Structure formats: C-alpha cells, structure tokens
A and B are shown apart, each in its own frame.
Chain A
C-alpha cells in the first residue's frame, strides 16, 4: 500500500494507528449502556468508508471489519504469524497450489446460523463477481476457474471445493506461497448470503458477521457503536462490552478529549509529540512499533543525471539518515535497504550507504555533475515532510547540489511519479500488504510495474530473472535467500535513497490494557480490555454531546 512518508504527522502512522485512535463522550456510553459496562471510547476524524469486507480496502474499514467478521486465518496480535480463526487446522501441498482447511463447527453468524464452508465459498465468489466491484478480486483470480466464474461462464469457481460443511479446499492455477496471507485479508471474511442478498449494496450498514463484536448502530458522520457478540466462539472473548467510536473528531480535538479523559486511546498530534515524550506520566502510556514501511527518496533512473548509478549512489552517501530520524524525534529506524525490519527476508547485515559526504562528492565529480546542479524533489505539502525535505536540502548543499522542494498534494504527486520522465526525485513510502518480500521487491522494482508502482522506472535483467524465480518458490529459506540476493542487487543499483522505517505511536489511558500494534494491520480491538481498578474516567457532559 502506498504510504505518504510522514514520520511525525498523521500519515505513515495511519497504518496501524490513525484508526485505533478514537474518542467519544464519557457520559454517553453510560447512557447507552449500564454504568459498569466496559466500553472502549474511541474517536475518528473521518467516517468509516464501509463495513462490507468485500468493499473495504483501507485501515479504518479494516479496523472494524476485522472484529465484525472472521476469516479462516488471522494474524497474531503483534506479529505476522498466522493463527487459526474459522479454521482449526490446514494443510498446504508442497507445490503451494492446494490448500485444505478444516473449519470449526461452533462459529455462528450473529443471526444465529452456523458458519459453513459454503459461506466462505460464497464470500470469496462474491469478491470475484465483477458486480461487487471489489478491489480484492486480484488476490483470488489465481484460483482455478476464477476467471470463468467472474465472466459468468460457471456457477462456481472450480478452485474452491466444499466436500462437507466444515472442510474447504482451494486449488490455484500456479503456485502461490503467500496465498495463506491473502486468506487473512478481510476480503476473504465469511458473510451470510441471506443477509447480503437482502440488503445488497446496503450490506455495509447492516453488516452481520461472526466476529467478536456486532454492529449496533452506525450514524453517518456521528458515531459507530459495536457491541459484544455474546455467542462468539471463543469463551470469555471479547472482554469489552462495547466500542463507541465518535466520528468527525480531528486529531487535535482527539488529543484534547484524551487529556480530559473522554477517550481511551488516541493518536498523538505532531504538535504534542515532543511534549508527550518529555512528560514521564504521558510517555509511559505510549505504545509504539516499527511499521512494515520504508520511506525513501526515489530517483528516476531514466532521467539524467540519475540514469548514472554513481549519481544515485552519491545521493545515498550524501543524505544523513540519522539526522532524519533525530528530526522525527526517534520515530524512525534508519533504512539500509528496501525491506523493513520484521519483514521475512529482512537482512540485518545489509550494509547500505553510511553517511559519507566526501565519497558523495567524489562520485558526483566522477559522474560529471557540476556544482550548482539543482534538481527538484516532489513531496507532499505536509509540515513534517517539508522539514525532512529541508534536512535533505542541507545535506545535498554540502556536496554542491542545490535541491529545490516542490510540495504538492498527495493525488497529484502519485499521478506525476507515474509519468515516465516527469519527476526526477520524489519522497514516498511503501507499506507492506503481506509479510513477504515480493510485496516490496517485485511490486516496486519490476519492469511490469513501470507506470504503476515502480516509480523510479528501475529495471535490471538479472533482477527480473531472479524475481521470476523467487515468486514460485514455496520453501521459505530458499525463497528468502533469493529475495535477499535481489535486494542486494537493488541496493547496489540504488534507485532509492533508503531513508527510514517509520515508528508508529499511540497513547492509551492508564486503564486501557491489551493494545498491541500490528506491523501490517490496524490493532485488533477485541484484544483490548479495561482495568477495573483505575477508573478516573471523565463524566462531564458538554454542549457538543449528541443524544441517542
């Protein structure tokens, strides 16, 4: 997923955080729920785009979808390891083409009906159906017969078999070692056919799943209320009785509400971050993790002088990445290659490019770049990015390059970098969709992605060959070794200045427990619980209150 590389500001954190961050009126749950109910109060800046798992493809939607619905597999709360959800066990064929799942029999939709293998088949076929217009369709097209089904030539996708109500088998037309991860995306969540057909496009407003929570109320632009699913298949879960997310509360307002004790978890606005970190009482309440994201300065390999590898390497030596991380108040880890830490295939021994302006000057000289060279870097017009841009500007001035900053909006930036010869330099970020190196190395550096995600227009025959080899290797050690080899080649060719991996922060109230930030996904709300002993929760009503 394409990331705006803000370090401090809202953006990069959005992946895991922005949506965890929430807030709502303290007395309001008390009115909706009994006084002793365990209600998690959140606030969101913007309305949730959708709660239909076939439609949502953003962190806000996923945050709530993943507690309303179940998939066969889910991630552990704070790692990329897959855990059973609707599945009890599974087998994968050695060639990574056949996947057999044995499902639990005690899962029920909140309308009372058991979740069966037919529901899962229906749910995935619904994503494949062009009428659903799901962005998840790309992940399931490798299923045998998926194209025929999508074209209306078959009643079912041949590649999904349901020999009995609690067994489901997937067959692919070619090996896909990361297919399990695709089944952990909300796109593959089980939805009840009868409810979907009853509401059609309005299913999002009447979402019924089998997850730990169920949708109680969704008032557009006002609030989203989820309540505990009393029949959830894991006894004792969830520990919360309800989640109330107030909508339309911007980051600054969230912070004020957090300080007033009116919300339980909040993001930290950039303007407050240094204050929080210098205030011990607040600092201990923060939670952070390194995101599976790499922020970088892209260099267009087809535009002179960046077509010369020496110039690209010189830029890598010239930029002081430690300084960038310091400017972000430590909210970043210096990047030495493409893959973020925690990603399978991450190579802790990769050398990267240490800060060495003298070497940078020599390389520029060898490449014939004269003092006064003034390339333009495109970046988002965001205060943090502008500061980082100025830091890079300072560094490059020391090697005789007069960098110009061109701040633009996010949309135009993405459009511009996709043009072959429009943008020499740009600051962007990339966050993983799956914990697999292919999701970085192939998506961002293969020639097939020119004009899509390979915005540096990098291409190398050896890299192409290895990418093709690696993509079908299922055995992890061999697969990751190949990807590490590919990464080495790419780092040597330096189409990016590898900058940093952002570190995301949220802050919780002292009584909030069990929050785990996930490297790829929004934090799971069903793992959160409230400590009963600490309860100085704000109760003052205010004029901004909304009555149910």
Chain B
C-alpha cells in the first residue's frame, strides 16, 4: 500500500496551527506591547492602524496587535484542551456504545441524543452562568457540549468494525472486550478520530469565541478574540478595524484547523 505524502490541505492547515502555537507560546517575546495597559491616548476614540500600531489601538488605548497575539493563548488553550476532553469522552462513549450494544448503547446514545437536541451555545451559556466564567469552567463547559457528535460517529465506525472478520477472529481467540476495543477497533477508527479532532478544534474555538462575545468567556483583563469583537461593537461604524482584526484571527484559526481536518480526511480516502 502506497502512503500518500502530505497534501496541500494538511500543509496549509498545519502551518496555520503551528503559527498559532508559536504565537501562544512566545506571546511575551513577540507582542510589541503589554496587552492590558494603555499604550496610546486613544480613550473612547480608537486609533487607526499605523506604523507604530499595525492593527490600531482600542478605546482603552491598548495595542490591538498585542492583544491578538496574547488572545491566541486563550483560544488555543481552550480550543485544544476542550477538544482533548471532548474527544476522550466522545470516543469512550462511542466505543462502548458501538461495541457492547444493548442497554449500554441504549443509555449512552439516548444521553447523546438528548444533548444533541439542545443547541450547544445555549447549553454552554447556561452552564457558564451557573459555574461563573473562568478558564477552567469555560474549558469544561465547551467539552461538555462538544463530545456528542464525536460519540455518534465513533459508535457508527465501531459498529461497522465490530462485525469485521479480524475482530470476530480475535474474539474467537478469546480476546477480552478491552483488548478488542483498544487493539483491534481503535487503530482502525483512529483516522476518523483524528479528522474529528481537527474539525472539533475549530468547533471549540468558535464556541469559545461565541461565549466571549456574549460576555461569558475568560474574564478581563485576559485578552480574548471573542471579547475583542464584542467590545468593538460600539465602534463598528467609526473604527471597523477593531472588530475586523480579531474577527480575522478567529477566521484564521478556525480555517487552519478545518483545513487540517479535511486534509486528514482526504488522506484517509486516498489511502
């Protein structure tokens, strides 16, 4: 079997994701200014992009570029951690449901269905309101509303795997349920899981931005892209760049992880 080299989707998506990781890790070195303090006297009258401040300054005199760079931290931490938690829960639930069937499947899938009937953002808003916004609570809430889609796909994949000959053979040899799931089913659904992981990262990023936009994100002064868009609403007509750049950052990150996901998907289909 010939393995395909990285396709262009993976390369572009990977480059974007990597750039975000670098920005997040080295924000203090890269950012030209303190993201929370005023660096220009543009109070109430945001400054346009200039040589000194390429993305302008906001109504509190803060450098938008520095805030964008630091904002990558929150977005990545929340996006990736929430994805990891959601994948873990989703894969576990989907695997068990698909593999065991019967009551296990019934219970797990009905829970999944109920969660899916509720709009994710609405559910997340309710949870955040109860838990009070903080990095940890945002992350947990986003995971909580994001695992269901994964569970359904993994269950479907597991169902088709569980009746394949190689699994039946292993079962006939007396392999335990755990061994069957981990050694035989998991490796075969891994490509799907990886695709789901990349795609759901863009989902969690968007959900985080959405919550921040609604004022339920990580509390100030920590810069976050969603809150930056929200805070610039007042200046939408007079200082559109305030909303444009964080919007662009969200687009960039979501696009990156989506490209990566579709790249993985194409690899799987061309294998």
Contact = CB atoms under 8 A, between A and B. Distances in A.
Contacts of B236: 271
A8 B234 contact: yes
A275 B220 contact: no
B167 to A, nearest CB: 53
Interface string A339-380: 000000000000000000000000000000000000000000
Interface in B193-236: 215, 219-221, 230-231, 233-236
Contact of B44 (A272, A329, A381): A329
B56 to A, nearest CB: 14
B238 A275 contact: yes
A35 to B, nearest CB: 35
Contacts of B237: 271-272, 274-275
B62 to A, nearest CB: 8
A397 B239 CA distance: 27
A390 B43 CA distance: 12
A330 interface: yes
B235 A274 contact: yes
B60 A391 contact: yes
B222 to A, nearest CB: 11
A383 B37 CA distance: 19
A374 B184 CA distance: 53
B234 A278 contact: no
B45 A386 contact: no
Nearest to A273: B234
B84 interface: no
Contact of A390 (B45, B220, B233): B220
Contacts of A383: 215, 230-231, 233-234
Interface in A392-424: 393-394, 397-398, 404-405, 407
A327 B235 contact: no
Contacts of B234: 8, 270-271, 273-274, 383-384
A383 B233 CA distance: 9
A274 B59 CA distance: 11
A326 interface: yes
Given A271-B236, A323-B43, A394 B215 contact: no
Contact of B215 (A8, A275, A381, A398): A381
Nearest to B237: A275
A157 interface: no
A481 interface: no
Given A271-B233, A386-B220, A394-B221, A327 B44 contact: yes
A273 B221 CA distance: 25
- What is the interface of chain A mostly: helix, strand, loop, or mixed? helix
Nearest to B230: A383
B92 interface: no
B239 to A, nearest CB: 8
B45 A329 contact: yes
A272 B220 CA distance: 24
Contact of A397 (B37, B215, B238): B37
Given A271-B234, A328-B44, A387 B59 contact: yes
B119 to A, nearest CB: 21
B244 to A, nearest CB: 16
Contacts of A327: 43-44, 59-60
A274 B238 contact: yes
Contacts of B36: 393-394, 397
B215 A407 contact: yes
A39 to B, nearest CB: 31
Interface string A496-539: 00000000000000000000000000000000000000000000
Interface string A299-324: 00000000000000000000000010
B31 to A, nearest CB: 17
Interface of B: 36-38, 43-45, 59-60, 215, 219-221, 230-231, 233-239
29 contacts: A8-B234, A271-B234, A273-B234, A274-B238, A274-B239, A275-B237, A275-B238, A326-B43, A327-B60, A328-B44, A329-B45, A330-B44, A381-B215, A383-B215, A383-B231, A383-B233, A386-B215, A386-B220, A386-B231, A387-B59, A390-B60, A390-B220, A390-B221, A391-B43, A393-B36, A394-B60, A394-B221, A397-B221, A398-B37
